[in-house]
Amino acid sequence: MAFTKIEHYEKEYIDAHHDSALNVTQGVEDQPIVNPYFKRKRRRALSTDEYVEGILNGNITILSQAITLIESNNHEHYAQAQEIIERCLPYAGKSVRIGITGVPGAGKSTFIEAIGGMVASLKHRLAVLAIDPSSERSGGSILGDKTRMESISSNPNIFIRPSPSAGSLGGVARKTRETIVLCEAAGYDVIFIETVGVGQSETAVHSMVDMFMMLQISGAGDELQGIKRGIMEMADMMVITKADGENVHKAELAKVQYQGALHLFPLPESGWRAKVYTCSSVAKSGLEEVWKGVEEYLDHIEANGYYTANRNRQNKYWMYESINEVLKSSFYQNPLIAERIEEVEQRVLSAKQSSFIAAKELLDLYFGQKNSDYNM
């Protein structure tokens, strides 16, 4: 009853004092998040001549826009990007390409930031191409490498470009290789390619670089554990990072263990036995020795002819990879295939048809149409 009386008196008070400041006025409707008066200014599309001229002049803004064309899935952008690459090709091929990989937490970005500043101080122009992993669920990517490399991101002689893997390793590898051509044409003579260090990306990157550097941390397992990783066979140099403070002794111990493990591998075609170094990116120690090791390796492979032979083999490999990718793209974009593929897929899912017969049916349909187009 008491509660009812209170409500009654409140209602009487509100009726008597309806002009009181306690009255709540009606709110406004939800406002739009984006300013309705804002008009986006469309940027004028550059011509191929303007792109090529800007790249050859070292304009990083135009270089970045050209790389965006390479990464685009738009067919018009792809066609223009291929034309730009073809015209820049005569000016490319004059850089040192170094692939850098390592397990997550090995300090790849910090290492690149430290040694990149030192390389730039030696009158080199450095391009850092970082392949950033994309989320399998959302498809998004953080692309935070440029933020983490704060001390070198403002250096005019250093260009940093993170690229999302977007779930397609082959596509990223091709796009990264094409990006290398543009960076070389823009005058960058040292190129670092950083991989995520968690899978097949190392194999793809190894097929486009002159030297493959692997970063390790101490205490990550004994030398036998290291042998289990096939990636060690690809390494031309191994660097134990974070060798500072109380970790110096552990790093030196890991160096001995990994050096012993590398000696168990057969001598690679380059004739170079991979060496192990220790360094600290924070204390800036050991970086000069690492870079001297890079120069020693490059002098060695240039002297014995492996440098040229490896570049030629890589060009041949990417020719076939490009053919495979174009054929794959042509197959899935074919109207007849796009019309039938879901129906065939459902038959496979319902176990009414084997996957091999289904694939043959689609391929026969594709090549049958192609043959009829040629005969017309």
The pLDDT assigned to 142 comes to 47
**pLDDT value of residue 371:** 65
pLDDT at 9 over 70: no
pLDDT at 137 > cutoff 70: no
Q: Of the ranges 107-111, 229-233, 368-372, which is most confident?
A: 107-111
Q: Is the pLDDT of residue 318 over 90?
A: no
Most confident of 41-45, 56-60, 128-132: 56-60
pLDDT of residue 231: 73
Q: What is the mean pLDDT of residues 261-272?
A: 87
Q: How confident is the model at residue 124 (pLDDT cuts 50, 70, 90)?
A: very high
Q: How confident is the model at residue 362 (pLDDT cuts 50, 70, 90)?
A: very high
Question: Could you give the strand order of the β-sheet that contains 237-241, starting from the edge strand earlier in sequence?
Answer: 158-164, 126-132, 190-194, 96-102, 211-217, 237-241, 275-278
**Whole-number pLDDT of residue 139:** 46
- pLDDT for res 141: 44
Classify 336 as helix, strand or coil. Answer: helix
**What is the number of other CB atoms lying within 10 angstroms of the CB of residue 149?**
24
Please give the average per-residue pLDDT across 281-286, as a whole number. Answer: 89
Q: Is the pLDDT of residue 117 over 50?
A: yes
Distances (CA, A) of 283 to 149, 239, 280, 287, 334: 16, 15, 5, 10, 57
Compute the mean pLDDT over every residue in the chain, rounded to the nearest whole number.
82
Confidence at residue 121, expressed as pLDDT on a 0 to 100 scale: 92
Q: Which two tokens stand for residue 156?
A: 């005019």
C-alpha to C-alpha distance for 327 and 60, rounded to whole angstroms: 33
Per-residue pLDDT band at 374 (split at 50, 70, 90): low
Provide CB contacts within 8 A for 26, sequence distance 6+: none
Q: Which CATH architecture has domain 43-91?
A: Up-down Bundle (1.20)
Give mean pLDDT, residues 329-348. Answer: 90
pLDDT tens profile 140-181:
444 555 566 777 888 899 999 887 665 445 446 778 888 999
Rg (CA), the chain: 29
State yes or no: pLDDT of 364 exceeds 50. yes
Of the ranges 18-32, 195-209, 220-234, 275-289, which is most confident? 275-289
Distance CA 113, CA 116 (A): 5
- Is residue 326 predicted with pLDDT exceeding 60? yes
Residue 89 is predicted with a pLDDT of: 92
With a pLDDT cut of 70, the percent of the chain lying above it is: 78
Domain ranges of the chain: 43-91, 93-305, 334-375
Whether the per-residue pLDDT at 373 is higher than 70: the answer is no
What per-residue confidence (pLDDT) applies to 74?
83
User: What is the CATH class of 93-305?
Assistant: alpha beta
Q: What phi and psi values does residue 21 have, to the nearest 5 degrees?
A: -70, -10
